[in-house]
Amino acid sequence: MKSDASRPVDGDRRQIALAQLRRGQVATVSGLVESAAIDSGRDASQSLVTRLRDLGFVPGARCEVVARMWLGGDPIAVRIGGSTFALRRAEAAAVRVELALGQARDVVAHAGSSAVTA
Amino acid sequence: MGLDSGVLQDLVVALIVFGALSFSVWKLMPARRRLRLLLALDAWCARHPSMTRWRERWLKPRIARAAGVGCDGCAANDARTPHRPR
Amino acid sequence: MDATVTPLRIALVGVPNCGKTALFNRLTGSRQKVANYPGVTVERREGERATPDGRGMRVLDLPGTYSLNPTTLDEAITRDVLLGRLADTPAPELVVCVVDAVHLPIGLRLALEVKRLGLPMVLALNRMDVARRRSVHIDAAKLSAELGVPVVATIAVKRGGADALVEVIEAGTWIAPRAFAPALREHGAEDAEQMQRDMRALLAAAGYSPPRENPWSGRIDALLLHPVAGLAVLLTVLFVMFQAVFSWAEAPMDGIERAMNSLGGFTAAHMPAGPLASLLVNGVIGGAGSVLVFLPQIVILFFFILALEDSGYLPRAAYLLDRLMGSVGLSGRAFIPLLSSHACAIPGIMATRTIPNWRDRLTTIMIAPLMTCSARLPVYGLLIAALIPARSVGPFNLQGLVLFTLYAAGIVSALLVAFVMKQFARERQYSPLMLELPDFQWPNASNLVLGLWERVKIFMSRVGGIILALMIVLWFLSSYPEPPPGATGPAIQYSLAGRIGALLEYVFAPIGFNWQIAIALVPGLAAREVAVAALGTVYAMSAAGDDLSAALEPVISSTWSLATGVSLLAWYVFAPQCLSTLAVVKRETNSWRYPLIMAGYLFALAYLASFITFRVVRAWA
């Protein structure tokens, strides 16, 4: 099952990467994908996904971007499940989210990795 | 006091220097060798029951500390890291 | 009472920052540092506690981990201990899973993983006081019923906060051991999903409601994590720290110095002249006393380090600097071990066990000694006070500025070395960040005081121990053989130490070191601050006539050239004058190769830096 990450999946709700959210935006996690930005093999990618899941990045979880570093948001600080985590862009690219309704929907253009759905 | 006596002074100084030298050697010794010395001392004490109380109170805690974990300002640490880092 | 029954083996498991170490301290009564971030609780910390039935319990504080699927070495240690895989550490008989009530989901998920191991288990619900304040509702009884293990509320930071837990442990009502599951298999996506579902079911059954957000922490984070303002705050904090180390310490240092001087004068006046008087005044007071003077600076430095650790600020600094570290090939997680290295490289090197990638870990280990450790402070303090005028440059104090520069030099050179090492790396392995930024808290005053007191004790025991001993030995080597009758010049030049110094001077002359420095560097290999003591002893013994109580600083200030002093500073930025550090590197890397490489490259850099500095300053001054 493949999906092109830059095209809207259905109407209003777009699936985008966590890495694309701007500061202050709130979203709901919809899934995890292996990020090709981590160019050291499937193993590293897999364990990254497992670890993200263990930290609470599971479908349905609400998250908010607390801060973004300059130069493309590497790293970003994300608040999820009552805890705050610092993630690099490649790690945040592995998290698929849906923007919560009622927010301005401008996000960072999809820069960098093309993702393959796991 | 007898401190005017040159011989006494020399003796005291020699004792102090000897003590300082032994202490330095002990402290600067590699941790494993220190542990081995302590264990050898422990084995020797085991053969002399009169030393038991000293052994329990002084020697054993020192062995535990030498074999255990912790950083008392220097690496007296003999933590047996189980495997090579991957 | 059977004396051969072994104490009950208990292990504490939990995610990082759940208060596990505080609970450990509460249970065992030992005073250990409670830091707010992963990387400090790396060692297997074991403590004991007596029980009424006489059996006693032995508690093991395992490294914090988010999952039993490890990504770092210390997490692997936790898993291995629980599975009984470590030859010298038998599997625990009881596992106390510590869960932070404020962050229940993440801790509960780990608890479910631990439960699958089949070991007897008790769940300690920690920080219930904070949870209540943040309007978290948890029905512990229902949770216990659903989970199938006893659940006990604990408040680790309060006295008596672990009493309920101890009661449950002693009552022995936790499930009796049964054969546990075969080798834990890495859980795949389906298992993980299942555990998430189980965890959510548990939360629902316990009537869990998530914590109320604290509006202030959001606002503070907006500032501290801001790309520009955040870095500005970080630089300011560091700056204030270094200025304070000089300005706040001035008065107490003067006091100690005067005390040492009068003690020396008193001893010299009231003792018959002879070797004993010389030993006491030159070796003991002149030597060890010279280092003692720097106690206030060390206390102030650690005050800042401990306060920053306790408050939870440090991972945020790691976040800000991650890009910079990544550009030289370092993991963002290297920040915390490298910061610990500013206290002492040894725990810093041990803390690198939290770095998952071997190449990254090795790089971090190799550059850790370049971080200005607290033992360098007496050396820097002495040289700066003796040679740098106490002027103001704008709002800043020049001496504090120079100290800041030395610290910065250490960091910059570390980054450069890391960059060079990166060029040699064959594969480019990805190293994750995924760092938790814990909630803020005001540094706990009693933690701070305890931590400072420990540091003072460590310092005093070093001064009264190895430094004193080495100074006595040095005094001996500097006094004998005695000068032939009718000899001119200070006696020390005829002694064994003096002759060795004269030989070494050939090696060190190109970089501007005189023979006194050359001698001092030899015992200085044991520990960095020993060089200060050694200079104190050597100069005390070189003092002409009866000037036995001359303090070290004025002597240096009047007899050394600026070039020599700055050259020695440059030497100390790099030189590995600490055998213990090399020993730990050998232990952590399991080979002789790396400590030898480390010693080699650091001494080479030191010589080069000293050479350049000496020539440049001499030409310019």
For C100-149, the pLDDT digits (tens) are 998 888 899 999 989 888 888 999 999 888 888 888 888 888 888 888 88
pLDDT (average), residues C285-308: 87
Least confident of A102-116, C114-128, C318-332, C460-474: A102-116
pLDDT of residue C337: 83
Return the higher-pLDDT residue of C93 and A73: C93
Q: Do A91 and C318 touch (CB under 8 A)?
A: no
- The confidence score (pLDDT) of residue C30 equals 54
On whether any CB of chain C is under 8 Å from the CB of B12, the answer is yes
pLDDT band at B78 (very low <50, low <70, confident <90, very high): very low
At residue B22 the predicted structure's pLDDT band, cuts being 50, 70 and 90, is: very high
Q: Does the pLDDT at position C385 exceed 70?
A: yes
Q: What are phi and psi of C465, to 5 degrees?
A: -105, -100
Q: Does C618 touch chain B (CB under 8 A)?
A: no
Q: What is the pLDDT of residue C182?
A: 41
B-C interface (Cβ pairs under 8 Å ≥ 3): yes
Which positions in chain B touch C347 (Cβ < 8 Å)?
71
What are the C-alpha distances in Å from A7 to residues A11, A27, A109, C527?
A: 10, 18, 12, 62
CA A8 to chain C, closest CA, distance in angstroms equals 26
Read off the tokens for C474: 């040095």
Q: Does domain A24-100 have CATH number 2.30.30.90?
A: yes
> Within an 8 Å CB–CB cutoff, is residue C222 touching chain A?
yes
- The residue ranking higher by pLDDT, C572 or C22, is C572
**Band of the pLDDT at C185, cuts 50, 70, 90?**
very low
Tell me the shortest Cα–Cα distance from C420 to chain A, in angstroms: 21
For residue B66, name the pLDDT band (cuts at 50, 70, 90).
Answer: low
Q: What ipTM goes with this model? A: 0.81
Q: What percent of chain A has pLDDT over 70?
A: 69
Q: How confident is the model at residue B48 (pLDDT cuts 50, 70, 90)?
A: confident
Cβ contact, residue pair A81, C210, below 8 Å: yes
Using a CB-CB cut-off of 8 Å, the residues of chain C touching A68 are: 227
Q: Do the beta carbons of residue C152 and residue C168 sit within 8 Å?
A: yes
Mutate to test the interface with B, among C89, C580, C590, C594 (most CBs of B within 10 A): C580
Asked if pLDDT for residue C64 goes beyond 90, the answer is no
* Domains in chain B: boundaries: 2-67
CA distances from A73 to A86, C223, C235, C320 (A): 11, 16, 21, 11
C428 contacts on A by Cβ (under 8 Å) = 39-40
Nearest-by-CA chain A residue for C333? A86
Say if residue B17's pLDDT is above 90.
yes
Contact predicate C378/C294, CB 8 Å: yes
What is the pTM assigned to this prediction? 0.78
Query: SS3 sequence, C335-402?
Result: HHHHHHCCCCHHHHHHHHHHCCCHHHHHHHHHHHHHCCCCCHHHHHHHHHHHHCCCCEECCEEHHHHH
Is residue C178 predicted with pLDDT exceeding 50?
no
**Residues composing chain A:** 118
Q: Is residue C183 pLDDT above 50, yes or no?
A: no
The CATH homologous superfamily for domain C8-205 is: P-loop containing nucleotide triphosphate hydrolases (3.40.50.300)
Q: What is the mean pLDDT of residues C586-602?
A: 89
- pLDDT reading at C365 higher than 80: yes
Contact present, C582 and C594 (Cβ < 8 Å)? no
Find, in chain C, the residue whose alpha carbon is nearest to that of B76.
C580
Computed over every residue of chain C, the mean pLDDT equals 83
Per-residue pLDDT averaged across A81-89, rounded?
A: 88
The pLDDT value recorded for residue C242 is: 77
Reported as a single tens digit per residue, the pLDDT across A21-42 is: 888 889 999 888 876 655 556 6
- Calculate what percentage of chain C has a pLDDT beyond 90: 19
